[in-house]
Amino acid sequence: MWTRDQQAARAAKELQDGFYVNLGIGMPTLVANFIPEGVDVTLQSENGMLGMGPFPFAGEEDPDLINAGKQTITELDRTSYFSSADSFAMIRGGHIDLSILGAMEVADNGDIANWMIPGKMVKGMGGAMDLVAGVKKIIVLMEHNAKDGSAKFKTACTLPLTGKGVVDMVISELAVLARPAKGAPFRLIELAPGIDLDMLKARTEGHFEA
């Protein structure tokens, strides 16, 4: 089984040299710590920045310079700033290579639900619907099962969708499931150490090819 850091490191293996990448809030943010040596990626922040740098040193925080999680960050020599309309032109226009985000549910047809639980206060979808609809490749980084033990990779999402048929790869603490194209079935790519196929199947509801 992978730890959260190992899960993030596994996701980082999907980064390719020259990629423009949007990382979601939470575990996906950790991926930035594991960018492989020799791979140069540019991080996009949907509030209007390309070329996101690390957190500032204490005392150097700038309230005019934050990421989409509203955290203080820094710029790099490659950084550009732009409006929200330009930012989402990048995202919706298919100019961003990869988005890594979290999910509450993913279905084996690529549907994703990650913004709303009926009956609970809904905070909003932010940029998630735009990202899953527009970015070239969508990787979901999530725990394999919900707190009640139910599978999060399902035959059908039960929660309101963020996007339909959009997910390309799921990385959990147990395994990597991926498909070569939208519309194709998911296939088992890799098992975490100590996990075998039977264990994975016992904890998974959605269909995948072994």
Partner 1 sequence: MANKLYPDAKAALEGLLFDGMTIMSGGFGLCGIPEKLIAALRDAGVKGLTVISNNAGVDGFGLGQLLETRQIAKMISSYVGENKEFERQYLAGELQLEFNPQGTLAERIRAGGAGIPGFYTKTGVGTLVAEGKEHKDFATASGTETYILETGLIADVSIVKAWKADPYGNLIFRKTSRNFNPMMATAGKVTVVEVEELVPAGTFDPDHIHTPGVFVQRLFVGRDYEKRIEQRTVRQREPA
Query: Where along the sequence are the contacts to partner 1 (CB under 8 A)?
Result: 45-49, 54-58, 60-73, 75, 81-85, 87-88, 91-92, 111, 116, 121-130, 133-134, 160-165
Q: State yes or no: is 46 an active-site residue.
A: yes
Residue 11 Cβ, how far from partner 1 at the closest point, in Å?
21
To partner 1, the closest distance from the beta carbon of 201 in angstroms equals 28
The Cα diameter of the chain in Å comes to: 52
Cα–Cα nearest to 153, from 182, 122, 187, 123: 187
Nearer to partner 1, 45 or 204 (CB): 45
Name the pairing type of β-strands 169-171 and 175-178: antiparallel
- Least Å from the CB of residue 114 to partner 1: 11
CB 144, CB 111: distance < 8 Å: no
Q: Which is nearer to partner 1, 48 or 199 (CB)?
A: 48
**130 or 173: whose CB is closer to partner 1?**
130
CB of residue 155 to partner 1, shortest distance in Å: 17
Asked if residue 152 lies in contact with residue 105, where contact means CB atoms within 8 angstroms, the answer is yes
Q: Which is nearer to partner 1, 159 or 191 (CB)?
A: 159
Strand partners, 187: 178, 209
Q: How far is CA 78 from CA 18, 52, 99, 150, in A?
A: 13, 9, 20, 44
Active site amino acids: 46
